[in-house]
Each structure stands twice: as structure tokens, then as C-alpha cells.
Structure 1
Amino acid sequence: MTATETSPTGGRTFRPSLLGIGLTLLGLALFVRLGFWQLDRADQKQALLDQYASGQQTQVEITSQNARTLPRYQRVKVSGRYDPAHQILLDNMPSHAGQPGYRVLTPLDTPAGWLLVDRGWLPLGATRKNLPDIRVGGEARTVTGTTDALPRAGLQLAIPPVDQSAPWPRLLSFPTHDALEQQLGRELLAGLLLLDPSQPEGYERIWEAHLGFKPERHVGYAVQWFALAAAALILFLVTSFRTKKATDESSR
């Protein structure tokens, strides 16, 4: 090569530092792991959507044989009688539009066992002492709805002691299954029955699979993490090429 010629890298050599290698490998491992975690979350959310769609296609009657094995989001029908005297108001439950309020849980005595029916959402009153009127008849009836799990808080607190003298309906915030059994003093079937909007004696009912973020949003986040991984690799490569003078000085 003559004095007038230049090398393909413009006189620069690839000489990464140990610190640069370590930081790049750490960043790549973190960004790629987060990207695949978001893709896994997207798959989980899509599975919930598929389960919801599948469960809505057929209706199953709840019996003592299948009551404890029904999948989430299965459309069902069941006969029984409401217990109007012992109802639960789930606190901190937003409406479909995000307005604060309650969801009304009413025990239903069925041949398969006691089942909590979610009769829908009601807004807050002027104060929390002004509870809504949720009276319901106790006659025999057949109800239809969709099975679901209890709402869960991001951070589950300890179960507060049960005050048996507290009036009904009782106001509870994200109770567990065990806490509800303690409040009601009876064994309950797992989960809830989300009362169909066509059923009488209910409130706002806009039911859907509980997703938080939809699968597409998780995929978008995954793309961002993978893009950060690519950017970290490119930055490492760019900064690892040094001029001959800089290389010589760093080797002294």
C-alpha cells in the first residue's frame, strides 16, 4: 500500500476495551431478555383472548360434577336463589370508562354449592358511607354468565380480621377467596360468575378478558428492547474502532 492509499477502515483498527465489551454484553443480555419476556407476555395475553373466544361459543350448565373444573371465561347457566342479606361491594373497581365505583357480588345458592355472582358495576355515592341500594329478590331463578377469577391487587395485603358485627352489604377491597369465605361463613365455589348483560337485576356489565395491555402493545415493547440491543451493539462497534495514534497512545 503506498503513502497515498488508505485502508478500508480509514486507518482505524478494531480495538475494543474490556470495559466496553463487558458493558455491551451486559446490555445485550438485558435488552434481549426483556424483549423475549415481552413476547412471552404477548403470547399469554393472546392465549387469554383465545380462551375467552372459545368459552363464549358454548354454554355449559354448572353441576356438582363440573363446578370445580370449569375453565375461565366459560359461558354457563345455573339455577339457584340469591342471598339478598349477605352481599359484598368490591371497592376500588373502575367502570369500563375508568370511573371509580363498586362491583356487586351476590351469593347464589345452587345445587353445586354457593357461587358468587358479579351483578355489575355501580358508581360511588357522595361519600363511602352512602352505599348504593343493591336489593335483589331471593326467589328461585336461572342465571347465565361467564366464569372468571376474582380481581387481584398488584400487591396483596394481609387478610384483615372479620368483624361479624359489621353491617351488610360489606365493603371489601380485593378480597381473596379465603377472605370471602370468612366474611360469608360458608364454603364458596372458586371465582365468580359475571352476570350476562341480558339478565335482570344487574348493573353496568361490559365484560371482556382481563388483559391490561393487549398483545400488540407487548410486541411493540419487545421491538423497542430489541432495537436497544441493536443500538448497543452498533455503538460498541463504532467506539471500538480507533485511529493508529489513539491505539499507540493507549498501549503505552
Structure 2
Amino acid sequence: MARRQFRPPLWAVLGMVPGLALLVSLGTWQLHRGQDRAAMLAQYASAGEQAAVAFDPHQPATKQPVHVQLRGHFEDQRQLLLDNQSNQKRPGYEVLTPLRLADGTLLLVNRGWIPQSGTRDQPPSPAAPQGEQQISGYWHALPEPGMRLGQPACEKATRFPQIVNYPNVAELRCTLGEAVLNGDVLLDANVEGGFVREWNFDNGFPPSRHYGYAAQWYALALTLIAFFIKLNLKRSHD
């Protein structure tokens, strides 16, 4: 009478166990990524419902936006234009205007998107409201490019507006010639002096994609187990 016996050779076990552990760990990693993304998106959603709090220049900017209220004077004579920004498939810029607080602190306010006009040598320079302004918006970390190729040489700008491409705080301080806070304020849509403001605090993968990747890794792990059993289940005869 033929019976089936499961007798995998040692080399097969030694090869299968690390592979299975790798697949399970990749699935678990993606599962945790999905959970983290879901929590982060919930935080982003709650940011839009926050009441504005008094701005604290000592509060570090993070990817989690904080709804703030602040007073200061715009310095639109030295504006920056964030390059390669589009709206409804139209090319344009986001206008970064320095704001001087009462204590002398300088920070950037993103006043929104404008369409591309003029030339690269003479880009648009939209005026900002004059005098002391009370504004509100979302204080958060400076946006970063998907890839940064080296550190470009920097000199203090002599002409404005300057077209920039995701500058970090060191480049901003160099361009403006003085200290500036490491972050920017995304101007609220109901505040005067802004342009198109459709802020998207997150453009990463949705949690469902991470969960889908996790399911694929776990499915591969189950497939590996099934093949391992099938290949090592041998018939024996009494």
C-alpha cells in the first residue's frame, strides 16, 4: 500500500526557511506602512478642521501641517517663484513671499499658484498687500523634490523674483542673504492677497496600495509553502 511521506532534504529546508521569512517580513512591512499611511492621512484630514493658533517661530515645521495665525509685513520686492507647478495641466509657479514678523523673524508664505507668463529672465512678480497683515495658513516643512541631484552653488540674489526649484533652508538663506525659518506657511484660501490655493498635504501612496502589496507578499509566501510541501511529499511503499 502506497503512502505519502513528507521528508524534505536538509538543503531544501535551509533554502526554504529564509525565503519564507523574507516574504513574510516584506508583507508585514507593507502592512505596517499601510497602517502608518492611514494614520497620517487622518492627521492631514484633521488639520483642515483645526482652529488657527498663534504662530510660534520656535516650533519646528514638520510634514504634519499646523493651522496658525500670524502678523507681519510682506516683502514682495524679494519674492521667489517655485518652478514646475501645474494647475489643471497648465504650467505655472507657486509664489513664495517673505513675511517679516514684529520681532524681525523672516519666513516664507506660499500665496498660491499663478500661470506661467513673461520669460525666464523676466518672470511675473505679483504684488502683495502692503502694511501690517494678519494672515492664517498651514505651517509645515518645506516641500522636497522626488530626487535632488547634488547641491547647487548658491549666491545672494541681486534680482527678484527668483525662480527656484524646491530650495532647502540653506539655499533660501543664501538667496535671501539672511536667516529664514525652516518651513513655510500655506496661505488660507479665504485670506486676501493669494492666488489659486488647492493645498494637498500628501501625494504618496494610499493605504490600500500598501495593503495590496502586503497581500501579494503573503500570497507568495503561501505559494512557496504549497510548492515546498508538494515537491517534498513522496510516495512510499510498505
Question: What's the TM-score, normalizing by structure 1?
Answer: 0.80
Size of the aligned set, in residue pairs, is 233
Match for residue 58 of structure 2? 68
Closer, same or farther: CA 24–109 of 1 in aligned 2, 3 Å = same
Question: What's the TM-score, normalizing by structure 2?
Answer: 0.84
Closer, same or farther: CA 110–224 of 1 in aligned 2, 3 Å = same
CA distance in 1, matches of 2:138, 2:201: 10
The residue type equivalent to 1:194 in the other structure is L
1:219 to 204, 208, 211: 211
SS at match of 1:92: strand
Closer, same or farther: CA 165–152 of 1 in aligned 2, 3 Å = closer
CA distance in 1, matches of 2:95, 2:18: 49
1:104 to 70, 95, 99: 95
Cα root mean square deviation, aligned: 2.6
Following superposition, the deviation at residue 239 of structure 1 comes to 1.5
Q: Is the 8 A contact 1:159 1:179 kept in 2?
A: no
1:167 to 134, 159, 172: 159
Closer, same or farther: CA 125–22 of 1 in aligned 2, 3 Å = farther
Following superposition, the deviation at residue 216 of structure 1 comes to 2.3
Closer, same or farther: CA 221–127 of 1 in aligned 2, 3 Å = farther
1:144 partnered with 2:136: yes
Closer, same or farther: CA 79–165 of 1 in aligned 2, 3 Å = closer
Closer, same or farther: CA 80–165 of 1 in aligned 2, 3 Å = closer
Q: Is the 8 A contact 1:136 1:201 kept in 2?
A: yes
SS at match of 1:210: coil
More strand by share: 2
Q: Is the 8 A contact 1:60 1:77 kept in 2?
A: yes
List, as ranges, runs of 4+ consecutive aligned residues in structure 1 with deviation greater than 6 Å: none
Match for residue 79 of structure 1? 71
Following superposition, the deviation at residue 235 of structure 1 comes to 1.6
| Long gaps (5+) in structure 2 | none
CA distance in 2, matches of 1:184, 1:147: 20
Match for residue 207 of structure 1? 199
Larger Rg computed on CA atoms: 1
The residue type equivalent to 1:69 in the other structure is Q
Closer, same or farther: CA 126–222 of 1 in aligned 2, 3 Å = farther
Most deviating of 225-234 and 36-45: 36-45
Following superposition, the deviation at residue 129 of structure 1 comes to 4.7
Closer, same or farther: CA 197–156 of 1 in aligned 2, 3 Å = same
The residue type equivalent to 1:67 in the other structure is P
